[in-house]
């Protein structure tokens, strides 16, 4: 998975200067399209989850991917769970991974394209200090560089669907790359809920086997 981030994007993209894609903001049809395709959901209608693709020995020829088996529903899946109030998305992903798999993890910084904007330089003791995240391509709006940003998110193809069958809520899952923080063995003291200790089994699989075992297609980053 780590070696294939260049192929994660499947939808067609174009630049702002593409002559076949010029936008006339005075054209009523542009605003009709935006309004017809946009959706607003109240906070109590959204189920926001965060999870990780955790890879051990990511730089080796035989990396291993952290997978959990959910005994309640009988599927292999990536570790993920709901974000707490006032918790950041990355922090939630790392916490949920530890609680479901019993493995402490830390962010795995990768080089990939993101539409998040790079931070502006800050003055520290009269000297400009800048973290090199890469330079934003002004035509595409994409910044390619090393970062801990979300590598992507999953949601229903049709935002009016109810992808969470248990609640009917619109499920929105943010994914982050991670790596083990020390021992890769399951440590149940990190699993704060007894329910999770009973519910999940922890496995490290090769990339190929992980893709074979994962039940959900959106966890394989295949679309």
206: three-class secondary structure by DSSP: strand
CB under 8 Å to 101, separation ≥6 — which residues?
A: 54, 66, 68, 79, 186, 200, 202
Nearest residue to 178 (alpha-carbon basis) of 115, 104, 75: 104
The pLDDT tens digits of the residues spanning 149-206 come to 888 877 654 444 556 788 888 888 999 999 999 999 999 999 999 999 999 999 999 9
57-61-64 Cα angle (round to 5): 45
The pLDDT, as a whole number, for residue 10 is 53
d(CA 216, CA 223): 11
| CA dist list (Å): 9 to 17, 58, 97, 182 | 20, 21, 24, 31
Edge-to-edge strand order for the sheet containing 142-147?
110-114, 142-147, 136-137
Backbone angles phi, psi at 69, to 5 degrees: -105, 120
The pLDDT, as a whole number, for residue 153 is 77
Mean pLDDT of 38-53: 87
| 118, pLDDT greater than 80 | no
Length of the chain: 223
| 110, pLDDT greater than 90 | no
Nearest residue to 99 (alpha-carbon basis) of 149, 163, 38, 51: 51
- Residue 86's Cβ-side half-sphere holds a number of Cα atoms within 13 Å equal to 0
What the chain holds in terms of domains, given with CATH numbers, is 42-109+148-223 (3.90.79.10), 112-145 (no CATH)
Backbone angles phi, psi at 130, to 5 degrees: -130, 130
The pLDDT tens digits of the residues spanning 54-79 come to 999 999 999 999 999 999 999 999 99
């Amino acid at each position: 998975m780590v070696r294939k981030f260049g192929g994660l994007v499947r939808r067609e993209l174009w630049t702002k200067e593409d002559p076949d894609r010029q936008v006339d903001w005075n054209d009523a049809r542009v605003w009709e399209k935006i309004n017809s395709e946009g959706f607003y959901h109240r906070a109590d209608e959204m189920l926001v989850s965060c999870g990780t693709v955790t890879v051990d020995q990511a730089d080796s020829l035989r990396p291993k991917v952290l997978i959990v088996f959910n005994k309640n529903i009988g599927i292999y899946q990536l570790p993920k769970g709901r974000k707490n109030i006032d918790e950041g998305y990355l922090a939630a992903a790392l916490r949920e991974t530890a609680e479901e798999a019993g493995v402490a993890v830390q962010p795995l910084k990768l080089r990939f394209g993101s539409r998040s904007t790079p931070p502006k330089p800050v003055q520290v003791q009269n000297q400009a200090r800048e973290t090199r995240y890469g330079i934003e391509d002004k035509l595409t709006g994409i910044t390619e560089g090393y970062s801990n940003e979300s590598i992507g998110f999953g949601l229903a193809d049709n935002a009016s669907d109810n992808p969470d069958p248990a609640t009917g809520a619109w499920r929105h899952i943010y994914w982050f790359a991670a790596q083990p923080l020390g021992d890769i063995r399951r440590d149940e003291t990190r699993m704060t809920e007894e329910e999770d200790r009973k519910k999940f089994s922890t496995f490290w699989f090769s990339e190929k086997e992980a893709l074979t075992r994962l039940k959900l297609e959106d966890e394989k980053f295949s679309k």
